[in-house]
């Protein structure tokens, strides 16, 4: 019997091939050369790439035997994940391979901008000895503000604590007790902006975080603050930052990422108090080796038909056929739960009721956790790190099963308790032979809606005119309503309106809706990646 064929389309560390082991036929090609890639990929079972090889729909269509695409790194910009999914090809990456390298680069940028190292070095190379011009600032006893206390943010906080820095952090999805164990004090975003001497950003790029540190935020900081962004381009508004630096409202900045990349021409590059690097966060030999080994292990699992922890699309593994269709639903429920909660929960119950409760449904808990953290942490969330993320944030998770389901053949419910004691819940089921996903309960209100890319939920006191007001405001804003449901506990009591809309509802529009209808709560959910 012939061995499975693995194509390595870019230069990877020798440890990658060693991690594959002797059970595969390994081939090599220059993946950046399309005329070489397309024939080479035609009869392989797996392909390993970095960033130069474009595994697009054309390449996937040419690969008749392809079962897995492995990206030895974090991002997947060069892999057409929807096309791979449509073709039944698993896509894996190495989401934790670069966290140490990324943390260390952020610290390097911070020290570089604090001590003016690049500018002073450049001046000396030009024959200028300018000690007084490049006087810097110590880190000792200064306040570090970490925006996003995920795995990279934690590494930065731990390392800079050793410099004698006081560490504060903004992350609404981390419990205060868990932060305190690390010696970190959780604060609001406004408090962080006002108190921090150094600010370092470690958030994912989402509609909510784009421009988070912009004109308004940069008018709340100390004029001596130094700001570092080695996370995602666009979280720090580059235009607003340039203005703040020029006007003396910010003392310096370190940037590894930009809103548009590659970026070789920016007004920021003209400033001595800006340290800039070309997205080097993962660019270390160690990170590349870890990435290669990680994806090699994933390829072995995938080709053996086992569960692949870092699969980003097809959930492989020994999963009961009746359970498998519920995995995407559970993940969506997790994302909806997080949006409804508006912050971190203290506890989360994943309840599975119905016929599938007799089977191993642990994967549904993992999928739910993956959804819970997908939109709120910087790093890629997988089956492996979702429980770790929960533990790091002090989230207590329980999986419960019950073969009895009164209303549906099977139903999955996520039920959580927030720090203020508030309860949040969302339930979903699969309907019919095509397994149509439906949300059937939100915070105790019965609904029946198909989850869509953009949704909104409002809780209010039942009274006439609310539906019309919602429709008018959204219509005036050019947001089309695809579907609407109203549920209430009693006439004149508590009510919930659930909307599916064709485009995202911006934060100012959401606030207007909440005010106009007197809602107790308004939340938006965006499932579009």
Q: What are the tens digits of pLDDT across the range 266-304?
A: 999 999 999 999 999 989 999 999 999 999 999 998 888
Does the pLDDT at position 177 exceed 80? yes
pLDDT value at position 170? Answer: 97
Give the mean model confidence (pLDDT) for residues 498-508.
Answer: 94
Note whether 308 and 29 are within 8 A (CB): no
Q: Which of 49-58, 75-84, 376-385 has the lowest mean pLDDT?
A: 376-385
pLDDT value at position 315? Answer: 56
The Cα 214–Cα 223 span in angstroms is: 15
Does the pLDDT at position 317 exceed 60? no
Question: What's the number of CA atoms in the CB half-sphere (13 Å) around residue 145?
Answer: 23
Backbone dihedral region for residue 266 (phi beyond 0: left; psi -120 to 50: alpha; all else: beta): beta
* Rounded (5°) CA angle 451-452-457: 70
Can you give the residue ranges of every domain in the chain?
A: 5-94+286-318, 99-276, 321-451, 452-529
For 351, the 3-state DSSP assignment is strand
5-94+286-318 — its CATH code?
A: 3.40.50.720
Q: What are the tens digits of pLDDT across the range 107-145?
A: 999 999 999 999 999 999 999 999 999 999 999 999 999
End-to-end CA distance of the chain: 41
For 112, the 3-state DSSP assignment is helix
Does the pLDDT at position 321 exceed 70? yes
pLDDT band of residue 380 (cuts 50, 70, 90) is low
pLDDT value at position 308? Answer: 83
pLDDT band of residue 346 (cuts 50, 70, 90) is very high
pLDDT value at position 51? Answer: 85
CATH fold of 452-529 = Alpha-Beta Plaits (3.30.70)
Beta strands across the sheet bearing 423-431: 396-402, 345-354, 410-418, 423-431, 436-442, 445-449
The tokens 């040419």 sit on which residue?
A: 62
The CA-based dihedral angle spanning residues 382, 386, 388, 389, taken in that order and rounded to the nearest 10 degrees: 120
The Cα 249–Cα 209 span in angstroms is: 22
pLDDT value at position 54? Answer: 96
321-451 — its CATH code?
A: 3.30.1330.90
Does the pLDDT at position 316 exceed 60? no
pLDDT value at position 318? Answer: 59
Same-fold call for 5-94+286-318 versus 99-276: yes
pLDDT value at position 314? Answer: 62
pLDDT value at position 13? Answer: 87
For 326, the 3-state DSSP assignment is helix
The tokens 């579907």 sit on which residue?
A: 483
Catalytic residue set: 232, 261, 279
pLDDT value at position 501? Answer: 96
Does the pLDDT at position 529 exceed 90? no
The structure tokens listed for 400 are 């419960």
Note whether 159 and 183 are within 8 A (CB): no
Q: What are the tens digits of pLDDT across the range 433-473?
A: 999 999 999 999 999 999 999 999 999 999 999 999 999 99
Give the mean model confidence (pLDDT) for residues 201-221.
Answer: 94
* CATH 3.40.720.10 matches 99-276: no
Give the mean model confidence (pLDDT) for residues 422-431.
Answer: 96
- Average per-residue pLDDT in the chain? 93
pLDDT band of residue 319 (cuts 50, 70, 90) is confident
């Amino acid at each position: 019997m012939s061995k499975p064929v693995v194509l390595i389309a870019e230069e990877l560390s020798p440890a990658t091939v060693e991690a594959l082991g002797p059970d595969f036929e390994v081939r090599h090609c220059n993946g950046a050369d399309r005329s070489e890639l397309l024939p080479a990929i035609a009869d392989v079972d797996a392909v390993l790439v970095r960033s130069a090889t474009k595994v697009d729909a054309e390449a996937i269509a040419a690969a008749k035997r392809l079962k897995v695409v492995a990206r030895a790194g974090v991002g997947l910009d060069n892999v057409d994940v929807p096309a791979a999914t449509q073709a039944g090809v698993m896509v894996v990456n190495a989401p934790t391979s670069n966290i140490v390298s990324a943390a260390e680069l952020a610290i390097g940028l911070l020290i570089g901008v604090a001590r003016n190292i690049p500018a002073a070095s450049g001046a000396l190379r030009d024959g200028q000895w300018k000690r007084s011009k490049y006087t810097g600032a110590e880190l000792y006893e200064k306040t570090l503000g970490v925006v996003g206390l995920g795995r990279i943010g934690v590494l930065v906080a731990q390392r800079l604590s050793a410099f004698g820095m006081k560490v504060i952090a903004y992350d609404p999805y981390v419990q205060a007790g868990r932060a305190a164990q690390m010696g970190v004090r959780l604060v609001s975003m406004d408090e962080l902006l006002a108190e921090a001497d150094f600010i370092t950003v470690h958030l994912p790029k989402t509609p909510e975080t784009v421009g988070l540190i912009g004109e308004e935020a940069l008018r709340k900081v100390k004029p001596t603050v130094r700001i570092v962004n080695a996370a995602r381009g666009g979280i720090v508004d580059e235009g607003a930052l340039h203005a703040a630096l020029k006007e003396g409202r910010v003392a310096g900045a370190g940037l590894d990422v930009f809103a548009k990349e590659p970026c070789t021409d920016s007004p920021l590059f003209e400033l001595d108090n800006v340290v800039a690097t070309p997205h080097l966060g993962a660019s270390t030999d160690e990170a590349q080796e870890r990435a290669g080994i990680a994806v090699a292990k994933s390829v072995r699992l995938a080709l053996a038909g086992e569960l692949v922890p870092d699969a980003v699309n097809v959930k492989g593994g020994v999963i009961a056929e009746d359970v498998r269709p519920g995995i995407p639903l559970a993940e969506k429920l997790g994302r909806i739960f997080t949006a409804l909660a508006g912050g971190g929960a203290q506890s989360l119950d994943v309840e599975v009721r119905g016929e599938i409760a007799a089977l191993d449904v642990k994967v549904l808990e993992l999928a739910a956790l993956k959804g819970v953290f997908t939109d709120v942490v910087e790093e890629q969330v997988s089956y492996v790190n979702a429980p770790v993320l929960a533990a790091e944030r002090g989230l207590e998770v329980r999986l419960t099963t019950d073969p009895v389901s009164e209303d549906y053949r099977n139903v999955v419910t996520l039920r959580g308790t927030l720090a203020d004691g508030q309860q949040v819940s969302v339930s979903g089921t699969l309907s019919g032979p095509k397994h149509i996903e439906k949300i059937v309960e939100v915070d105790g209100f019965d609904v029946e809606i198909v989850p869509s890319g953009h949704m909104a939920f409002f809780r209010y006191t039942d009274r006439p005119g609310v539906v019309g007001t919602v429709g008018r405001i959204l219509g005036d804003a050019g947001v089309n309503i695809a579907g609407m449901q109203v549920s209430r506990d009693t006439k004149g009591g508590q009510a919930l309106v659930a909307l599916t809309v064709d485009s995202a509802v911006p934060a100012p529009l959401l606030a207007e809706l909440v005010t106009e209808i007197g809602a107790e709560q308004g939340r938006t959910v965006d499932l579009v990646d």
